[in-house]
Structure 1
C-alpha cells in the first residue's frame, strides 16, 4: 500500500484488507468487488463471485422453503436503490451455497447492512453490502436456552436478550418491507401526476425531477407543458408545502386545475386567479407557490404571472439575462380577500433560454437565497450553448446541494 504522501492510498488494497466482510454491488445488483473477509465468511473465492448477479451467486435453497433470506435481501437492496438510503437486516436466516458442492446449502445467520454510494446523477451508483456472521452466537444461545431435562426452560444469562433481539430483528425486517411498499406506491403516484403528454412534441424542452434525500420520493413539486391555439405554449411550475402522499395528491389536483385554467383564462394572471380561488377549498394547498407563463412565438413575447415562486431565468444568447420577477404576488390562498393577480411581459429572441425551477435547486440551509440565484445565473450562463437535455443535467450536477439535498427539485429548461 502506498504511503500517505505522494500517490496516496491504494484503495483497492485497503478495501481488500478491511476486516468486515463486504461486497460492492452496482445499481444492477451485479457483484463488482469482494474483500478477503467476505470470501472467507462465504467460502466463495472472489473470481467465482465478481461479475455475477448477486442473486445468481446466492440463490434460494429450493429444499428449505422456510429460509426467507433471499426475499428479505432483495427487498432490502431494492429499497436502497429506490430511497437512496441505507438499511439493515438483523438476525436474518440465510441459506448459503456450499463452496464446491453444487446444490448443497448451509444455513447461516447474518446481520446485514446495505449502504448506498450516490453518483453525480443523484442516483445510487454502488451499494456497499456488509455482513456480520452471527451463526455461532445464534446456535449457542438456542442450545443454552433450549428445553432442560425436566422440560423446563434452562436459565441462560443471554437467552432473553437474544430472544428479544431476534423479535426486534424480525419486526425491523417487516417494517422495511412495509416502507418499501409505501415508497413504491408514493413514487408511482408521483410519476403519474408528473406525466406531461404535451411535452412529447417539444424537443426544445427538457424536464427533470429529483426527490429529496429523505422521505418516500413523493412531493408537491410540479412542472407542466400545455399546447395552446395559434402555436402558443403554456408553461407552469409549482411547489406545494410538505412531502409525502398528501402533498403529492394536492399537487396533482392543483396542477390539473392550472392546466385547465391556462387553456381558457385570459393570460397567466387569469389562470393563477382561478387557481388561487380553487386552492381555498383544497386542504394542504395554502401557501403553494407557482409560476405560469405563455410563449408567443410569432411576436417573440413571453407573458407571465408569479404567485410567490422563485423567479425563472431568461438567459439571452449573448450571456445577459433577466430574472422574471416583474409580476410577483403572494402564494396561493394567503390573502383574506380576492385581488387580481399581476401580469408582465418581456421580449425574447430566438435561441434564448428559459429556466424554470423549484426552490430546492437554489436554497441551502443558512444561506441567503440571493446566493443561490447568483449560482443559478452563473451556471446557466456558462452552459447556455448546450442542448436543453444536457443543460438540465448540468444544472442539477452543479447546483444540487453537495451536503445532501433537503428539498425536492423540479426543473424545466426551454430553448425559445
Structure 2
C-alpha cells in the first residue's frame, strides 16, 4: 500500500490561522484563505505589495509603539537572526474597506517564523496571525467575563511595555559599547605601508564589541598585526577586548615573535574575567626579509592573496583559544614568504560564518572573493569583502577586518 499524496496547498488554505508568506523585503508572496478573510483583501491585492503599505496603522497612533513599529521590529529580528519571534498580544488598528480613513481598533496574536535556504539565509517569513479582538474587548452583560478580559489586556500591555523598555535599554548599551569600541580601535598608522581596517557591528544590539584589530610598528622595518574575538557581547565584551588588545599590543613590542607575544597574552588573560576562550591570530611581517611569521590561538586562519589570484590560508601554527588548557603551554609558530604586492587579510568569524553552515564553506566563499580581486587596493578590497560576504540584512555577529598590502 502506498502512502497517499498530501496536497499541501489545500492544507495551507484550510488552516484556521491566518498565514501569509513574506519575502525578505517584506513583500507578500502568498496568503491562505483565513488570512484573506481576516484582512478583508483578495490575494491579488496583496501579492508583491509591501506589508505596511497594505496595512498602515491609524495616523492617530503614529507617535506610539503602534502596530507597524512592533511588527516591523519583530520581522527585522527574524531576518537578522534566522530565529522565530512571537509577539505579545498587540493592538494594530485596521482601515475599514467601506470607510477609507476610518480605523477599527483590532487586537492580534502574531508569530513570525523564518524559512531558511541551504546557506542558512532567510528566504521567506511565515507570518501567522490570529485575531483576538472579540476576546480583548470588554462586553456589557458578559456574565462576569469583562474582568478577565480586562486583566488579559492589562497583562498584554505590560508585556509590550517591558519589551519596549528592554529594547531601549539594549539600544543604549549598544550605543555606549560602540562608542567605547571606536575609542579602542584606532586607525592604522604604520608609516610607508598600506593598510585598511574595518569594524562592522552586528545587527543585534546585544552582539557587538567582542572583536578587535591592532597594528604596531616594530624596529627593523617590521610590523605586528593582530585580530581577535572575545566570547560575549556588549559592554562587558568591549571592556575585556580593550584589556586584551592593549596587553597584546604591548607584548608585541617587547617579544621576539608572535608565539611569544601570545604566550604573554595567555598568561595575562588568566587574570581577566571574561577572557576565557578568546581567539586571536598574531603575525609579524618583516619587510626586508619578505616573511610573515604567525601564531594562531583558535582563530580563523589569515589569508594570503598572491598576485596571480591564488589564496593561501595560513594554518600552519593553529592552537586552542586563550584559557582552553588547564595549564599554560607555549604556542606554536610558523612562517611563510611573500612577494611585494601580495595582500594579507586578517578577519573575525562574522565575515565568514553562517548559522548551520560548515566553516569550510565560509572560507571557500572568502577565497573566491579574494581570487576575483587580486590587484584591488586595501581600502577597495576591505569594502568589497564586507559587501560580498556579509548578508544584505547584516550579520548576527560583529566583524573586524584588516587588509594589508605587502
Structure 1 residues 353 and 144: alpha-carbon distance in aligned structure 2, compared to 1, 3 A threshold? farther
Residue 103 of structure 1: which of 95, 101, 104 is its match? 101
- Show structure 1 runs of 5+ residues with no match: 146-153, 398-404
Distance 1:310 1:88 in 2: 35
What TM-score do you get using the length of structure 2 for normalisation? 0.67
Distance 1:61 1:363 in 2: 39
- Aligned pair 1:289/2:279, yes or no? yes
- SS at 2:91 equivalent: strand
Deviation digits for residues 262-292 of structure 1 (CA, Å, limit 9, x no counterpart):
4676543464455446535532224433221
Contact 2:213/2:228 (<8 A) preserved: no
- Show structure 2 runs of 5+ residues with no match: 374-380
- Aligned pair 1:331/2:322, yes or no? yes
Return 277-286 or 295-304, whichever deviates more. 277-286
Contact 1:86/1:115 (<8 A) preserved: yes
- SS at 2:107 equivalent: strand
Return 308-317 or 21-30, whichever deviates more. 308-317
The match for 2:372 is 386
The match for 1:166 is 153
How far 1:129 moved relative to its partner?
Answer: 2.5
- Aligned pair 1:224/2:223, yes or no? no
The match for 1:38 is 35
Distance 2:330 2:96 in 1: 74
Contact 2:214/2:245 (<8 A) preserved: no
Structure 1 residues 108 and 362: alpha-carbon distance in aligned structure 2, compared to 1, 3 A threshold? closer
What TM-score do you get using the length of structure 1 for normalisation? 0.66
The match for 1:247 is 237
How far 1:97 moved relative to its partner?
Answer: 0.6
Structure 1 residues 76 and 341: alpha-carbon distance in aligned structure 2, compared to 1, 3 A threshold? closer
Kindly tell me the number of residue pairs found equivalent between the two proteins: 383
Deviation digits for residues 319-350 of structure 1 (CA, Å, limit 9, x no counterpart):
6956544485872597878x886654322345
The match for 2:377 is none
Distance 2:199 2:116 in 1: 17
* Alignment RMSD: 5.2
Deviation digits for residues 277-313 of structure 1 (CA, Å, limit 9, x no counterpart):
6535532224433221123345321022344546546
